[in-house]
């Protein structure tokens, strides 16, 4: 069944090629297609295109379909083109001609647009929650190990004293900025395209403000042409925000792989969280972090893929946009999985509390000695030269007591401030408005 099919049967090879993976991808969108349809038909009744009895029948049937989706019993049948066709077919089987009325005043174009927006809105909420979970773990570990020193590196050469408080806390604060970017993407997502139809509106007197409120959007996408132009652009913006989180996770994963190797020995991964070798009995491999690094690097390529698909398209709808689903929708599963696994690993990580007892790290305290001499009145450049010459002569003696007190340093991590920033970002999303709107549609 195809919503657009008339008297001519489409060639099977053409059908295979044009449908592609749409049926598979549309399973991501199924619950949101039902939500959009309930809002749309509620509006249709208000302008006289459905009777109250027809609306009551349709809403009841759509709620049954929504329950099937939630229970995992919904399928897009063989020969059915997409989720929109499947839902309409199920309604028509149950209600007859009344089921065919739900498409008045809309196109599959704005139907898939609203499905995608509702999907993105819901999954951004999940990603934000998982990011906050990892943030909390990192802040807790930063506080737990804030007095444990470790080497800091530049150019992968030992540089200055750092601490595990700084290391864990740095990635926590990075996640704050990542969610600031995600919040901006959420604002782009949370605008209603329903009623733009095929991109040029409708001669029906649609109440777009009504569906905007019913679906819990912040506003509508006002211009109907731009509402359609947002397809592809919105996915690129959201995938860029996801890629920002992925970049943080990838860097953290690289550190964890490196720091857990025997040549560093800064951290230890729990044996239950490592894998082994088929030939070397001593091996304990950080496969979770290696896979995280690879998955997150792949995620960071998605905005580029979307840009290359949509980059040279003029205004209006084109079938090219269908392909974006294939690279975009699975990204949410991947980033959520990575966030969960990294959080689990970070919760159980073991820290080496005696790293700097090894004298190979003594030179990282050279800056501390330069600063001490400068504090006693010696010009900084002279102090720098003296310590440098002592190092060259092999007579440098270090003091391993570190006294950093300024904001954000070893002795003053500002974790409370970072946590306050994160809480402000999370609260500013205002997810409750969308949650309550969707709940009312399905009650």
Tokens of 17: 């090629």
d(CA 82, CA 77): 9
* Of residues 34, 39, 65, the one with CA closest to residue 50: 39
Q: Give CA torsion, residues 135, 136, 141, 143, to 10 deg.
A: 110
Residue 3: phi and psi, rounded to 5, are -60, -25
d(CA 113, CA 220): 12
107 flagged as catalytic: no
Q: Answer yes or no: are the C-beta atoms of 157 and 224 closer than 8 Å.
A: no
Q: Answer yes or no: are the C-beta atoms of 242 and 250 closer than 8 Å.
A: no
- Among the listed residues 155, 278, 282, 406, the single catalytic one is 155
d(CA 165, CA 351): 11
d(CA 192, CA 222): 8
Coil vs helix vs strand at 306: helix
- Among the listed residues 277, 301, 315, 375, the single catalytic one is 277
Tokens of 383: 């102090």
* Of residues 103, 34, 28, the one with CA closest to residue 327: 28
Length of the chain: 443
How far apart, in Å, do the first and last CA atoms of the chain sit?
A: 30
Q: Answer yes or no: are the C-beta atoms of 80 and 26 closer than 8 Å.
A: no
277 flagged as catalytic: yes
CB atoms inside a 10 Å sphere around CB 93: 10
* HEC per residue, 223-239: CHHHHHHHHHHHHHHHH
**Which positions are catalytic?**
155, 277
């Amino acid at each position: 069944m195809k919503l657009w099919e008339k008297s001519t049967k489409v060639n099977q090879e053409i059908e295979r090629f044009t449908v592609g993976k749409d049926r598979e991808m549309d399973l991501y969108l199924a619950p949101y297609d039902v939500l959009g349809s309930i809002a749309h038909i509620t509006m249709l009744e208000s302008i006289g295109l459905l009777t109250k009895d027809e609306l009551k029948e349709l809403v009841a049937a759509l709620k049954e379909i929504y329950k099937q989706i939630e229970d995992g019993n919904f399928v897009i049948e063989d020969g059915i083109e997409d989720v929109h066709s499947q839902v309409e077919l199920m309604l028509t089987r149950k209600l007859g001609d009344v089921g065919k009325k739900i498409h008045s005043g809309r196109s599959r174009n704005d139907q898939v647009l609203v499905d995608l927006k509702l999907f993105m809105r819901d999954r951004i909420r999940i990603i934000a929650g998982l990011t906050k979970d990892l943030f909390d773990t990192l802040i807790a570990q930063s506080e737990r190990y804030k007095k444990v020193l470790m080497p800091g590196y530049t150019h992968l050469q030992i540089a200055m004293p750092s601490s595990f408080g700084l290391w864990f806390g740095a990635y926590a604060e990075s996640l704050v900025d990542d969610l600031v970017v995600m919040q901006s993407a959420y604002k782009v997502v949370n605008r209603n395209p329903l009623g733009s139809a095929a991109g040029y509106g409708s001669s029906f007197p649609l109440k777009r403000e009504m569906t905007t409120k019913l679906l819990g959007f912040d506003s509508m996408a006002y211009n109907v042409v731009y509402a359609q132009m947002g397809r592809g652009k919105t996915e690129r913006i959201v995938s860029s925000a996801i890629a920002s989180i992925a970049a943080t996770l990838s860097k953290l994963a690289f550190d964890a792989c490196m720091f857990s190797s025997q040549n560093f020995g800064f951290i230890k991964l729990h044996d239950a969280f490592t894998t082994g070798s088929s030939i070397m009995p001593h091996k304990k491999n950080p496969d979770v972090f290696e896979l995280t690094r690879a998955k997150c690097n792949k995620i960071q390529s998605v905005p580029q893929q979307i840009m290359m698909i949509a980059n040279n398209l003029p205004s209006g709808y084109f079938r090219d946009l269908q392909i974006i689903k294939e690279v975009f929708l699975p990204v949410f599963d991947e980033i959520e999985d990575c966030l969960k696994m990294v959080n689990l690993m970070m919760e159980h990580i073991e820290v080496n509390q005696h790293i700097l007892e090894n004298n190979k790290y003594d030179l990282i305290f050279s800056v501390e000695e330069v600063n001490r001499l400068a504090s006693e009145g010696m010009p900084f450049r002279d102090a720098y030269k003296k310590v440098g010459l002592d190092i060259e002569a092999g007579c440098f003696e270090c003091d391993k007591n570190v006294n950093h007190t300024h904001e954000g340093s070893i002795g003053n991590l500002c974790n409370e401030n970072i946590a306050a920033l994160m809480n402000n970002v999370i609260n500013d999303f205002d997810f409750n408005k969308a949650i309550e709107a969707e709940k009312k549609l399905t009650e």
